Amino acid sequence: MKSKSAEQRRGAVDLSRLLEITASFPRQTIAVIGDFIADEYVTGEISRISREAPVLILRHQATEFFPGGAANAANNLLALGARVLPVGAVGDDAAADALIGHFRGKGVDVSGILRVRGASTTTKTRFVARWSHTGRQQVLRVDREGGGALAKSVQAKLRKKIVRCAAKCDGALISDYHAGSITPELLKGVKARFATLDSRYRLLDYRAASFTAATPNEPELEALYGVRIGKDEKRLEEFGLRTLRAMKLQALLVTRGKDGMVLFERGKPPYKIPIYGADDAVDVTGAGDTVIAIFTLALAAGASFVEAAHLANYGGGIVVMKRGTATVSRAELEAAIRSEASGAR
Given 39, 176, 259, 289, which residue is catalytic? 289
Instruction: Using alpha carbons, select from 340, 337, 334 the residue that is nearest to residue 26.
Output: 334
Q: Kindly state the helix (H) or strand (E) to which residue 312 belongs, with its residue range.
A: helix 305-319
Question: CA–CA separation, 301 vs 306, rounded Å?
Answer: 13
Q: Kindly state the helix (H) or strand (E) to which residue 102 belongs, with its residue range.
A: helix 94-105
Phi, psi (rounded to 5 degrees) for 268: -130, 150
Q: Kindly state the helix (H) or strand (E) to which residue 252 belongs, with its residue range.
A: strand 251-255
Instruction: Using alpha carbons, select from 286, 339, 340, 292 the residue that is nearest to residue 82.
Output: 292
State which amino acid sits at residue 301.
Answer: A
Helix, strand or coil, per DSSP, at residue 35: coil
Question: CA–CA separation, 170 vs 144, rounded Å?
Answer: 34
- Catalytic status, residue 289: yes
Residue 203 · residue 217 · CB < 8 Å: no
The HSE-up count of residue 264 (CA atoms within 13 Å, CB side) is: 24
Task: Please give the positions annotated as active site.
Answer: 289
